Amino acid sequence: MAGNDTIFGKIIRREIPADIVYENDEVLAFRDIAPQAPVHVLFIPKHDPIATLDDLQPGDAALVGKLVLAAADYARREGFAENGYRVVMNCRDDAGQTVFHIHLHLLAGAPLGHFGALGR
Ligand code: AMP
């Protein structure tokens, strides 16, 4: 969705600060400002600020896969893949979505329980 600018767009353009922990050609990841677990990192597409999961089209399949793969890569690099982690993507009001630029939450660093830690 072109023209969909949010606070995450400002982070991508380095207009506001963020604790960036991972980046590749298509994905940027930074620490959540209000962490819900010892590790709480957001993975976002750099070039496609799609507002919600409900706006995804079949052609976006690779993009979503790249968010997931980036999170898995980061978990391995940081050494917590073996212990485990959770990924969450919130869509609209009932899931509590607050930033309308799709993003994947990566939560780790402690037993996360069911639900809580963004499982709401
Ligand atoms: P969601 O509720 O799924 O839309 O998630 C949005 C997340 O973005 C929340 O967990 C916020 O804490 C986080 N967030 C909002 N603004 C910032 C920011 N400037 N830097 C880092 N994380 C942010």
Ligand 1 — pocket residues by CB below 6 A?
7, 18, 30, 32-34, 42, 90, 96-99
Question: CA–CA separation, 15 vs 110, rounded Å?
Answer: 32
CB 31 within 8 A of CB 22: no
| CA 29/CA 105 separation, integer angstroms | 10
Q: Whose Cα sits closest to atom 18 in ligand 1?
A: 33
Amino acid 73: pLDDT: 98
- Render each residue's pLDDT in the chain as its tens digit; 120 residues: 445 799 999 999 999 999 999 999 999 999 999 999 999 999 999 999 999 999 999 999 999 999 999 999 999 999 999 999 999 999 999 999 999 999 999 999 999 987 666 665
Predicted confidence at residue 4, as pLDDT, reads 79
Tell me how far apart the alpha carbons of residues 16 and 83 are, in angstroms, rounded to a whole number. Answer: 33
Which pLDDT score, from 0 to 100, does residue 116 have?
A: 66
Round to whole Å and give the CA distance between 30 and 40: 9
Give the residue whose CA is nearest to atom 15 of ligand 1. 33
Note the pTM of the prediction, 2 decimals: 0.94
Structure-token match 């009001």, residue found = 93
103 is annotated as an active-site residue: yes
Candidates 40, 47, 101, 103; catalytic one: 103
